[in-house]
Amino acid sequence: MTSKVAIVEVGQNARQAFEQALRLIGGIDLAVLDGTHATFKSKRIDTNILIVGRDAVAVETAGATIVGMNPEKMPIIQQAVRRALGEGDIKKIKVLGASIQSIKEKLGTLSKASKKKLQPRKRL
């Protein structure tokens, strides 16, 4: 069976976002990664996403991939895969809702915006 994760943007209503994820995934025994905030290159960024799935390893794999980490090099994910606890290969995970690429692009845009805000002003 293919592991599935749902990536949904939270916006103003977290409950509505979670209900959307439930509709995409189905079921009640779920793993949830709260991605409303992420640390990206040592800066906190408001991403406002939830990652939801029945396979906790797949959920963590999707989250790691979004922030630019390689799940194949993460010992905790690989240990879970060796113990057959879930899927750690992003290519084998079906992503529903927002795409990983669209969230990565959003992260890149937010990261650039936060850098602009943090740049020191030039003295006149």
Q: Please write the tens of the pLDDT for every residue from 18-43.
A: 888 888 887 767 788 777 777 766 77
Q: Which residues of the chain have pLDDT under 70?
A: 1, 12, 28, 40-41, 109-124
Q: Residue 31's beta-bridge partner residues?
A: 53
pLDDT of residue 23: 80
pLDDT of residue 119: 46
Give the pTM.
0.76
pLDDT of residue 118: 43
Burial zone of 99 (CB within 10 Å; 0-12 exposed, 13-18 middle, 19+ buried): exposed
DSSP 3-state assignment of 39?
A: strand
d(CA 29, CA 119): 44
